[in-house]
């Protein structure tokens, strides 16, 4: 009997298959060949018949040339760092697609001359926070702090409360980030209590600026005290020392659901000279570091040589502008979702799914923002075993385990994703 492995079609033969030839034009030769090789190996191992190699290769082709896969976020964490933080609005996605080709990012079509890079996004930021004398964008909030340190405090001290020596995730710590610039940290106060006198005693000729960091991912309660931004601004104004405030989460104006979360407009109104924030958290846009403040300070930052290394690309600028000028992004819609409507959706979905229950639950803001804030929500409750199966599905669905059940929290699921969500659950139960 002849070896069935001899019947495994060769790579050139498979590449000539019209389906795989079309995939090569879209996905690239290397990727398609790797999928073909996997299918051939499965046939040689006896897992599939040699005659099914082409069919299996076609079935295994990814939808795009990227390994990133879109998922349905049913965790109830609105800004989920591990799932890419803020999902972009449809307007922002369209803007990214439009900007992906040749664009006038740094060109004036009217005059035929070079123009200011990202002027549309910068203008939108300035309109969103009118109190800012100037605005600037870098590639994330850590970069914004880095730029402030290298520009305003080279070989100088940055005064910072010990209660605000924050770790921002994945082991990155703000003190280490600032120290890497060559600036020196001057820690004041204690972990739980810092006074205006602590700051006053530390400020001197070596002070580059005073930094106030919002502890966005933790709470310290009990015997505590801190100095308000307004108090610090008054103290530093007499000494002509800049006050830099890192609000972190990217809230540009007060939000009714997040009364304790600092925002850029309020910080500037209180006397802050420079505010730094993230673009991909509560703003709901792409990853970016946002800077608002005194026109002179912003211009110094913009002209510093390191600003070129920290600048954002045209895709980020396009997405940021569309986020600011377009309809509310998904993050805003999730924060504003009506709990009664969420409950109605959960009941409708549960009625379609075997073994499912509609339950009340609590969602979270996430992304290191608004710690302790509870968002009333509703979920579809399934047996715990569904969690792994849903993650392995297409599209993958990521829920959370709570009290031995898999919860699919609808606060973070767009209404238009209810049908794909139901289909994913049904696929797991069949």
Tens of pLDDT, residue by residue over 171-186, are: 678 888 888 999 999 9
Sign of the C-alpha dihedral computed for residues 116, 120, 123 and 125 taken in this order = negative
Does CATH place domain 90-327 in 3.40.50.410? no
Could you give the CA distance from residue 379 to residue 359 in angstroms, rounded to a whole number? 5
Other beta carbons within 10 angstroms of residue 212's beta carbon come to 24
- Residue-level pLDDT at 23: 94
pLDDT at 21: 95
Burial of 209 (C-beta count, 10 Å sphere; 0-12/13-18/19+): buried
Share above pLDDT 90 across residues of the chain, in percent, rounded to a whole number: 81
For 26-54, the pLDDT digits (tens) are: 999 999 999 999 999 999 999 999 999 99
**pLDDT at residue 191, rounded to an integer:** 84
Which residue's entry shows tokens 């919002």? Answer: 214
Query: 72-84+332-429 has which fold?
Result: 3.90.1150
- Residue (of 341, 366, 351, 346) closest to 407 by Cα position: 346
Q: Where in the chain is the domain with CATH 3.90.1150.110?
A: 72-84+332-429
Pairing of strands 274-278, 157-161: unpaired
pLDDT of 199: 94
| Banded model confidence at residue 218, pLDDT cuts 50, 70, 90 | low
User: pLDDT grade, residue 216 (50/70/90)?
Assistant: low
Q: Where in the chain is the domain with CATH 3.40.640.10?
A: 90-327
Q: What is the pLDDT of residues 260-304, one digit of tens each?
A: 899 999 999 999 999 999 999 999 999 999 999 999 999 999 999
pLDDT digits (tens, 9 = 90+) for 68-81: 999 999 999 999 99
Give the contacts of 159 (CB within 8 A, at least 6 positions apart).
186, 188, 199, 202, 203, 207, 209, 210, 211
Per-residue confidence band for 2, with pLDDT thresholds at 50, 70 and 90: low
């Amino acid at each position: 009997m002849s070896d069935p492995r001899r019947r495994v079609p060769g790579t050139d033969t498979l590449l000539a298959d019209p389906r795989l030839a079309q995939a090569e034009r879209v996905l690239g030769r290397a990727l398609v060949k790797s999928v073909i090789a996997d299918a051939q190996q499965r046939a040689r191992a006896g897992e599939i018949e040699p005659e099914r190699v082409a069919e299996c290769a076609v079935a295994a082709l990814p939808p795009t040339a990227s390994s990133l896969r879109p998922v349905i976020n049913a965790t109830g964490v609105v800004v989920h760092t591990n799932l890419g933080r803020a999902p972009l609005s449809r307007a922002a996605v369209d803007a990214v697609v439009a900007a992906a080709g040749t664009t006038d990012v740094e060109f004036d079509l009217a005059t035929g001359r070079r123009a200011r890079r990202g002027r549309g996004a910068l203008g939108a930021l300035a309109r969103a926070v009118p109190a800012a004398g100037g605005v600037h964008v870098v590639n994330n909030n850590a970069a914004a702090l880095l730029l402030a340190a290298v520009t305003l405090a080279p070989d100088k001290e940055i005064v910072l409360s010990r209660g605000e020596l924050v770790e921002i995730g994945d082991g990155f710590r703000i003190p280490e980030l600032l120290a890497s610039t060559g600036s020196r940290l001057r820690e004041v106060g204690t972990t739980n209590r810092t006074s205006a006198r602590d700051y006053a005693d530390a400020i001197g000729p070596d002070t580059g600026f005073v930094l106030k960091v919002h502890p966005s991912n933790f709470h310290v309660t009990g015997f505590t005290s801190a100095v308000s931004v307004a108090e610090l601004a008054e103290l530093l104004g007499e000494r002509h020392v800049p006050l830099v405030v890192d609000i972190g989460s990217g809230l540009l104006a007060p939000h009714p659901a997040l009364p304790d979360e600092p925002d850029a407009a309020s910080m500037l109104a209180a006397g802050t000279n420079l505010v730094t924030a993230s673009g991909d958290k509560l703003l709901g846009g792409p990853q970016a570091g946002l800077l608002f403040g005194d026109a002179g300070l912003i211009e110094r930052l913009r002209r510093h040589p390191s600003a070129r290394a920290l600048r954002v690309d045209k895709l980020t600028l396009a997405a940021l502008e569309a986020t600011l000028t377009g309809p509310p992004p998904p993050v805003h819609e999730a924060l504003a979702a009506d709990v009664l409507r969420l409950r109605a959706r959960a009941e409708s979905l549960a009625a379609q799914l075997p073994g499912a229950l509609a339950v009340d639950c609590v969602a979270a803001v996430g992304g290191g923002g608004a710690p302790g804030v509870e968002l009333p929500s509703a979920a579809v409750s399934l047996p715990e075993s569904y969690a792994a199966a849903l993650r392995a599905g297409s599209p993958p669905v990521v829920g959370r385990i709570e009290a031995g059940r898999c919860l699919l929290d609808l606060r973070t699921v767009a209404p238009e994703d209810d049908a794909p969500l139901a289909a994913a659950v049904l696929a797991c139960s069949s």
